[in-house]
Structure 1
Amino acid sequence: MKRIFTAVLCVVLTVLLFAACGKTDDKTPKFTAADKADRKEVTAAFKKTDSGDTLDVKLNREKSSDEKTALYTGNADPAKFDRVIVTADGTETIELTYNDYVRAWDISSGKPYPGTQVMEPQYDRVTFDYEDRKKDVLIWKPEDYDPSSADKYAVIYMTDGQNLFDRKATSTGSWGVAESIAEMTANGGQKCIIVGVENGATWRDEELTPDIGKVTEASFENGKGKYFSDFVMDTVMPYVNEHYNVYTDREHTHIAGSSSGGIESFYIAMEHPDRFASVGALSPAFLLYNDDTWVEYLNKKDFSKNAPLVYLYCGNSSADQLEQALCTGTKTMPNNLKACGYPDDKVVIKLYENGVHNEMYWRAVFPDYLKYAFPKASE
């Protein structure tokens, strides 16, 4: 008996020794930062926005199939953290989303994009009649899109389609939505296409301003957001449903946008709660109407059967007065929804104290919205 006990004890000690020396497999998910520069030191600072928990990790360089790109990796549990800042030789990125859909960021340009490979997204351009002019809609499909497959694709309808895909679209890049979706599906998430409606030039403000009451800014009077909403619902959506291999049910249909596009996306979802599973309103221009106007409008709606998930995000940087002003309206919207009986568990708000009003910050937070819009079945 003594010999058996001694043998068992030796086995236990051996296992513990190997574990202490890091010999066991570490099953914690891996974070990857890709960079075309040869860095001496790369670190990642992870945090959980709700709890404030943090973790600092020194990243190790790994071999890459692309000789021009270096990969720096380290372990962090996306169930415990949702944001990360990468520091490469003393230069920090902005806060980036970290979750089990998007666990890699290319930091080469100083304007991080999801993934480790530079993408040049290709999309279909479809032109429709719109009032007395033409309007383009850009439809992006994943590389593995198969129109004859039994597997269908979810759809995210988005405003400002001109800024969603091309990295040269603005001085801070594009939304990087193709990169985010590619990462999501590669990590077990929903297959998805993006339908981006262009809203550039002269008519953007009027197109993306719903008329729900008296506006707080005279220059936004006479908004034609209802016309735009009808265009999406009655023209664009039927076209997509007919010509692409997509789900047509509510569960797989979503809408998102930023700034004026954020308020219009929110409005469309509230007008059609039976058609959308979620709305992502990033830096939304809710301040165009005061809280009383919003409550009066929302009280006219019935959300007892269908209440889309409302994902709200805004920055609050003192360096950006516009974003700070929008943050005030974003913070009060959950209370407005609650006053109208909207389900608490259907409202998510994420704030970024250093966030400013541009595509780089919306790109950094878009994968966080995806996590809420497309939760994994086990969650």
Structure 2
Amino acid sequence: MTHNKITLTIAAVLALSACADKNPPAPTLTIKVTPPADYSANDTIHLVGNFNDWALDGDKAYSLIKNNEELSVTIPITEKNVFFTMVKDKNWQWMPANEMAKSQCTYLHKATGGDAEMAVHIPLWTGDKPLKAAEPSLSGSIVQHKNITLPQFGRSSDISVYLPKSYQHNTDKTYPVLYMLDGQNIFNAQTAHSDEWRIDELLEELTSAGNLDEMIVVAVPNSAERWVEYNPWAFKNRDGKATQGQGELTIRSIKDTLKPFIDSRYRTDPQPAGTGLAGSSLGGLMAIYAALKHSDTFGFTAAFSPALAIENMDGINVLFEAIKQQQTIGNSKIYFDIGQMEYGNYEQIEQLNSLLLKQGFKPENLKLVKDDVGRHCEVDWSRRFPAAMEWLQAGI
């Protein structure tokens, strides 16, 4: 080989090495999983997340491998924040649950730029028999009203009312009232579907520290027909069939039955400026609906991770279409937020904000929060609750 050829070969090697340095392999995350005690080798457990478009099948699928009594999987870290969960036997009904068999929030790993490991313990799968019963977790003064008749639905419901610390001794004071949907998840771990919001604990802490003004909170539970009761318009149901939503009846049950009951028994500020409605997911959709259609009652609303993908049989987004058709805009303040993980980006929540502004909502009456580490669960809604209430209270 000639001197020139040797020189060229060395140059080529150096060039390739330089390219390799500019494109180092992506860092990895190794997830080590301790499965439930009854785990069987016949079970398949797949890891899904934003790193693989939540895919259970195909080239993007990741299954956990058993190695020396340990289940693990290694994935490339392609996102700033890695959101993931596990699915048993490719059935979305079987996902991680705690010892009370209540579903767990999506897991989060904040990337640090290098290889990492994360340990995950799965006590049960959703649908399993609980290993232990959930304990009551009520704090402060909470009054239970059993079997409140809701004529709008022809049934009754149990209602929980949180009273501020000063309520018993400051007898001249009236308080704003916040009605919260999915009420079984608001105060009590025993009744919560998953994690509880811990609203009672939060208010006890925040009002004592002077970070929030005191308020009454009324927790209104949903029924087994939540998907219908928390949809205000005709929509395409999960089975692909046309379904008439009963969201208007849900609001009427609060406005015409529950609110008069609460106002007659407690020292409330009954005016719209002192009356709010909050909810998450479909409950968040209902909060926006209340601001659109019932601003004469609800002067402030909070929509945590509102459902933004509900469509009618023609494939039209029911919320966006309703906003476009809204003729009269009230003065309700609307707080609404979303986690980046929930829809993969912020396009839909930004579209919601633009539509509300276009239809005449005042910019000062809208508060949009984008949470880069937000997930679709009570843990993160609870985390965002204090800031939401602080902003809403500014107008009370």
TM-score of the aligned structures, taking structure 1 as reference length: 0.60
> Which residue pairs with 1:364 in the alignment?
383
Is the 1:338–1:344 Cα contact (8 Å) retained in structure 2?
A: yes
What is the aligned counterpart of 2:323 among 282, 298, 323? 298
- Are residues 1:312 and 2:336 paired? yes
What is the aligned counterpart of 2:221 among 192, 198, 202? 198
Structure 1 unpaired stretches of 5+: 1-84, 86-91, 93-117, 318-322
Matching residue's letter, 1:207: E
Aligned CA distance change for structure 1 residues 184 and 220 (closer, same or farther; 3 Å): farther
CA separation in 1, counterparts of 2:140 and 2:229? Answer: 26
Matching residue's letter, 1:298: I
Partner of 1:288: helix, strand, or coil? coil
* 1:297, distance to aligned residue in structure 2 (A): 2.2
* 1:278, distance to aligned residue in structure 2 (A): 1.3
Where does 1:252-271 land on structure 2 (aligned, <5 Å)? 252-271=274-293
- Are residues 1:140 and 2:162 paired? yes
Q: Deviations over 1:57-95 (max 9, x none)?
A: xxxxxxxxxxxxxxxxxxxxxxxxxxxx9xxxxxx9xxx
Matched positions, count: 256
CA separation in 2, counterparts of 1:243 and 1:257? Answer: 24
Partner of 2:158: helix, strand, or coil? strand
- Farther-moved stretch of structure 1 (260-269 vs 215-224): 215-224
> Which residue pairs with 2:271 in the alignment?
249
- Farther-moved stretch of structure 1 (235-244 vs 295-304): 295-304
> Which residue pairs with 1:30 in the alignment?
none
What is the aligned counterpart of 1:159 among 175, 178, 181? 181
Measured on the aligned residues, the alpha-carbon RMSD in Å equals 3.0
Matching residue's letter, 2:333: L
- Are residues 1:337 and 2:356 paired? yes
Aligned CA distance change for structure 1 residues 294 and 198 (closer, same or farther; 3 Å): closer
Is the 1:291–1:332 Cα contact (8 Å) retained in structure 2?
A: no
Partner of 1:221: helix, strand, or coil? strand
Q: Deviations over 1:73-120 (max 9, x none)?
A: xxxxxxxxxxxx9xxxxxx9xxxxxxxxxxxxxxxxxxxxxxxxx963
Aligned CA distance change for structure 1 residues 291 and 186 (closer, same or farther; 3 Å): farther
Matching residue's letter, 1:197: V
Partner of 2:296: helix, strand, or coil? coil
* 1:284, distance to aligned residue in structure 2 (A): 0.6
Partner of 2:370: helix, strand, or coil? strand
Where does 1:34-73 land on structure 2 (aligned, <5 Å)? none
* 1:352, distance to aligned residue in structure 2 (A): 1.3
Q: Deviations over 1:127-155 (max 9, x none)?
A: 22232432222111123312871111110
Structure 2 unpaired stretches of 5+: 1-109, 111-117, 119-136
Larger Rg: 2
CA separation in 2, counterparts of 1:242 and 1:307? Answer: 25
CA separation in 1, counterparts of 2:222 and 2:309? Answer: 20
Is the 1:205–1:220 Cα contact (8 Å) retained in structure 2?
A: no
> Which residue pairs with 1:234 in the alignment?
256
* 1:263, distance to aligned residue in structure 2 (A): 0.5
CA separation in 2, counterparts of 1:219 and 1:356? Answer: 29
CA separation in 2, counterparts of 1:329 and 1:245? Answer: 40
Aligned CA distance change for structure 1 residues 141 and 159 (closer, same or farther; 3 Å): same
Matching residue's letter, 1:369: A
CA separation in 2, counterparts of 1:165 and 1:157? Answer: 13
Partner of 1:280: helix, strand, or coil? strand
Aligned CA distance change for structure 1 residues 216 and 135 (closer, same or farther; 3 Å): closer
